[in-house]
Amino acid sequence: MTATNTFGAPVLSLLIFLPLLGAVGISFINRRNVGVIRYATLGVTLVTFLWSLQFYFNFDWNNQGMQFVDRLVWLPSLGVQYLVGIDGISLPMVVLTTLLTAVAVGASWPVETRVKEYMILMLVLETGMLGVFTAIDLFAFFVFWEAALVPMYFLIGVWGGPRRVYASVKFILYTMAGSSLMLIAILALGLSHAGGPTFDLLELVRQPVPPGTQALLFWAFALAFAVKVPLFPLHTWLPDAHVEAPTAGSIILAGVLLKMGTYGLMRFNLPLFPDASRQFAPLFAILAIIGIIYGAWVAFAQRDVKSLVAFSSVSHMGFIVLGIFALNAQGLNGAVMYMVNHGLSTGALFLLVGYIYERRHTRELSAFGGIWATMPLYAVLFLIAMLSSVGLPGLNGFVGEFLTVLGAFRANPIWAAFAALGLILGAVYLFTMFQRVFFGPITDTHNEHLEPLNLREILVAAPLLILMFVLGIYPNLVLGPLQTTVAQVLQMVGTAVALR
């Protein structure tokens, strides 16, 4: 694993901290100028998104190492550095983060209380997330990891629903408990390095960890990431957080924050603890399968549309974990593709659920019916997002599901059989929900004169829906830069198998 900087300038660091600089600038705007604050925040996120695209267009698909690396000695006596870079796994997550943050800010126009603080927290959150997906130094990774958790805690706790305090406290307690274990493991790993203290991932992967210690450290990292995924049975914080979070919070939570867990498993657990990864892969695959079926089954029983989508995330994230611990090229490629696709489809579903909630101030399935007749454009957009989530061929969701199940089949056909059952159940609860909301007679008079989507709402949703078709037709936009990195990860784990 090598490191290069194509630009020769700290352009990646500028990307990471551009939202934070924007937050500082917005702090000087008078809080009464709500319109200026909103458009300034949206402008910062759009510039950040456009800035992130240069890393995609300048990325060397044939380079296995980290690219666009920025390095700065931070605490030399402890071997701590500010060290960031991008490879094939982190590249799609960086672009997804900048896109979804811009979408989330565009969806935040209905927020009317403490708008200034809200927008500042959104930008601070973006810096934290970008740092997580680019940090190569483990200590810097932990700092960014924590920096991404705190803003979400406040976004849920201040601007959330009626049970927002309960949901935000539950969210922070679960994630901080996992973070504490990870911090201990990071310190143990970095301070015990034979060549002197270092938290540089590029150095740590070159020194094998003894088998006994490896298992302990593996679990310390894995539990922190499993909570974040969340992997069954550590998932109970997620539905509460999703239901109580504002629309933008749900978009970011589902689209980006959950991926921090699966990204961490791929970035750290597999290369640092290869023996333990192989040893515990069947256990993680079984837990993933339980989560797939359990999440789908419970989603079917929900009577709140947002809660249904929240439990669908538990099921979908199980597919990603299953792909990772299939420990083959198809599984890992499918896992990364699934991470991107889930961010687009579930992010769009939460966005669209937010649109109807702003009109009806309820998400109960029983309150709807016949919406297609009064909001046909909205119904079409919702249908596209739902079919993407189901995995309809031609849309982005199909490719990730196919590769993930294929990887599971190559590892163990029984795993693939149960995963396929989860796909069937997913189609059942989503189509049932769609039928109840959009078809049938209008039984509630409030649904007879619903306001159609405005231009802002259409423009905010459009990028996600367009990408569903683009990645469904040409998935190599994600899979192409990924191949060499996946091959390197499999080589480190010792399970390299040619993709055929």
Residue 4's pLDDT is: 55
Q: At what angle do helices 329-360 and 476-493 cross, to 10 degrees?
A: 130
Domain boundaries, the chain: 273-500
Residue 228's pLDDT is: 86
Which of helix, strand or coil describes residue 69? strand
Q: What is the DSSP string of 239-285?
A: HHHHHHS-HHHHHHIIIIIHHHHHHHIIIIIHHH-HHHHHHHHHHHH
Residue 240's pLDDT is: 81
Would you state the structure tokens that stand for residue 359, as one six-digit string?
A: 């009109």
Asked whether the whole model's pTM tops 0.85, one would answer yes
Q: What does the mean pLDDT of the chain come to?
A: 88
Q: Which residues, 6 or more positions from 35, have their beta carbon under 8 angstroms from its beta carbon?
A: none
What are the CA-CA distances from residue 137 to residues 131, 132, 348 (Å)?
11, 10, 33
Helices (H), ranges, 301-375? 305-325, 329-360, 371-374
Q: Which residues, 6 or more positions from 12, have their beta carbon under 8 angstroms from its beta carbon?
A: 55, 68, 69, 70, 84, 85, 86, 134
Query: Residues for the chain: how many in total?
Result: 500
Nearest to 393 by CA among 423, 364, 363, 418: 423
State how far the Cα of 204 lies from the Cα of 181, in Å rounded to an integer: 19
State how far the Cα of 493 lies from the Cα of 328, in Å rounded to an integer: 10
Q: What is the DSSP string of 403-466?
A: HHHHHHHHH-HHHHHHHHHHHHHHHHHHHHHHHHHHSS---SGGGTTPPPP-HHHHHHHHHHHH
State how far the Cα of 321 lies from the Cα of 323, in Å rounded to an integer: 5
Query: What digits encode the pLDDT tens for the residues 203-232?
Result: 888 888 887 788 899 999 999 999 888 888
Would you state the structure tokens that stand for residue 466, as one six-digit string?
A: 């367009």
Residue 500's pLDDT is: 28
Contact 226, 291 (CB under 8 A): no
Query: What digits encode the pLDDT tens for the residues 78-99?
Result: 888 999 999 999 999 999 999 9
Would you state the structure tokens that stand for residue 133, as one six-digit string?
A: 């997906």
Q: Which residues, 6 or more positions from 424, have their beta carbon under 8 angstroms from its beta carbon?
A: none
Name the phi and psi angles at 195, rounded to 5. -85, 10
Residue 41's pLDDT is: 95
Sign of CA dihedral 389, 395, 396, 400: positive
State how far the Cα of 24 lies from the Cα of 3, in Å rounded to an integer: 31
Mean pLDDT split into 10-residue runs, the chain, 500 residues: 59 94 93 91 96 93 87 85 92 95 93 91 95 94 92 89 85 85 90 81 85 88 90 82 86 90 93 91 93 89 86 89 92 93 92 89 82 90 93 90 92 91 89 88 80 91 94 92 89 58
Residue 8's pLDDT is: 58
Residue 497's pLDDT is: 42
Residue 334's pLDDT is: 93
Which of helix, strand or coil describes residue 80? strand
State how far the Cα of 432 lies from the Cα of 40, in Å rounded to an integer: 41
Residue 191's pLDDT is: 85
The b/e string for 189-202 (b: 16+ C-beta within 10 A; e otherwise) is: bbeebeeeebbbbb
Query: What digits encode the pLDDT tens for the residues 160-186?
Result: 888 888 888 888 888 888 888 899 999
Residue type, 429: Y
Contact 242, 305 (CB under 8 A): no
Query: What digits encode the pLDDT tens for the residues 236-281?
Result: 888 888 788 888 988 998 889 889 999 999 999 999 999 899 999 9
State how far the Cα of 249 lies from the Cα of 111, in Å rounded to an integer: 12
* Residue the block writes with tokens 């359990």: 294
